């Protein structure tokens, strides 16, 4: 007897059990999901401060600089013996940190045109990345994993790196929340209050670079900036305060990561794309809900005055 396609397809419950058993069995899946959960917290957490300061494109610039570092590390691993055993993530993170420091220097050089620093560094990252990719041969599959994320590529070492960076991020926000809040909304007040804006901004940029470097395994270099900004865009529509926006950003970031990783596992595709598309769908739902809520409020007010 010929079975129908529907009969051959496992049920939702069977799929969930398969995923749970796989998580309990395979270490790389445990690494990927734990890393994703952590990134789902720290990326939107920093992203809110980036967005309110109108620096959203900085994440894009640093991700392209990280790409240059990854491509350079893969190229050096082919030509220099001592680099063959080096995790490319390290050079990617170092490049992102260097790019963040250069952005701050250029913003200081162009005081009246600070936004020029971002496209300059972004262009440099793309340029160096293209050069290293053209010089090296045969690491296309490795590079694709860094560009768009890969569940199977996350090692226990990568997980520990993400854990350490998450501790740094949470500690920084915990101890410098008031200073970051003041710098985000009123630089002059922060300066009068004695806040050392230059040092805090530089440390903040370094931490953003580290998070971008650490997130590339799961989300991918080309998509990590989306996880920093899209959940924040949705949270701003829902929240009535800055702290509320922080909470909503983290919740939406976690939902995006969990649903995205779940979809990537079952569809056998790169997790970065599914995570970002999930966050966009959530954003569209939020925008639709707030628009509908606004119309209902308007109708209610008109009814009261009728």
DSSP 116: G
pTM of the model as a whole = 0.81
What is the reported pLDDT for 157? 83
Helix and strand numbers, DSSP H then E, in the chain: 13, 0
Rounded to the nearest 10 degrees, the angle between the axes of helix 156-185 and helix 27-52 is 10
CA pair distance 149, 215, nearest whole angstrom: 9
- What mean pLDDT do residues 98-121 have? 83
Architecture of domain 23-224: Orthogonal Bundle (1.10)
What is the reported pLDDT for 142? 66
DSSP element (H, E) containing 66: helix 57-79
pLDDT, greater one: 6 or 273: 273
What is the reported pLDDT for 140? 61
What is the reported pLDDT for 13? 47
What band does 281 get if pLDDT is binned at 50, 70 and 90?
A: very high
Res 107 pLDDT > 70: yes
What is the reported pLDDT for 280? 94
pLDDT, greater one: 154 or 177: 177
| Per-residue CA distances from 23 to 9, 109, 163 (Å) | 21, 50, 19
CB neighbourhood size of 73 (10 A): 22
Q: Dihedral, CA atoms, 70, 214, 225, 271, nearest 10 degrees?
A: 90
* Average predicted confidence (pLDDT) for the chain: 80
Res 24 pLDDT > 70: no
DSSP 195: -
Q: What is the pLDDT of residues 215-258, one digit of tens each?
A: 887 787 778 888 889 999 999 999 888 889 999 999 999 999 98
Domain boundaries, the chain: 23-224
What is the reported pLDDT for 7? 39
């Amino acid at each position: 007897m010929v079975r129908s396609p529907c009969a051959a397809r496992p049920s939702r419950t069977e799929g969930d059990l398969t995923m749970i058993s796989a998580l309990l069995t395979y270490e790389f899946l445990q690494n990927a999901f734990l890393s994703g959960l952590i990134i789902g917290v720290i990326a939107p957490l920093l992203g809110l401060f980036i967005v309110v300061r109108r620096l959203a494109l900085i994440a894009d610039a640093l991700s392209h600089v990280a790409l240059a570092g990854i491509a350079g590390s893969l190229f050096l691993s082919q030509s220099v013996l001592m680099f063959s055993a080096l995790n490319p993530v390290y050079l990617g993170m170092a490049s992102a940190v260097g790019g963040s420091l250069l952005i701050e220097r250029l913003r200081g050089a162009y005081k009246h045109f600070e936004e020029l620093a971002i496209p300059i560094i972004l262009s440099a990252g793309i340029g160096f990345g293209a050069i290293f990719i053209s010089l090296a041969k045969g690491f296309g599959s490795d590079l694709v994993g860094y560009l768009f994320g890969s569940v199977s590529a996350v090692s226990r070492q990568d997980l520990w790196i993400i854990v350490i960076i998450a501790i740094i991020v949470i500690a920084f926000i915990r101890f410098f929340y008031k200073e970051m809040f003041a710098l985000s909304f009123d630089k002059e007040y922060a300066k009068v209050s004695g806040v050392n804006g230059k040092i805090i901004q530089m440390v903040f940029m370094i931490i953003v670079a580290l998070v971008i470097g650490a997130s590339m395994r799961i989300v991918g270099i080309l998509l990590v900036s989306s996880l920093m900004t899209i959940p924040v865009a949705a949270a701003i529509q829902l929240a009535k305060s800055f702290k509320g926006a922080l909470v909503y950003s983290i919740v939406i970031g976690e939902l995006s990561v969990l649903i995205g990783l779940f979809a990537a596992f079952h569809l056998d595709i790169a997790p970065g794309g599914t995570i970002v598309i999930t966050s966009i769908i959530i954003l569209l739902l939020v925008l639709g809900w707030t628009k509908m809520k606004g119309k209902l409020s308007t109708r209610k007010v008109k009814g009261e005055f009728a």
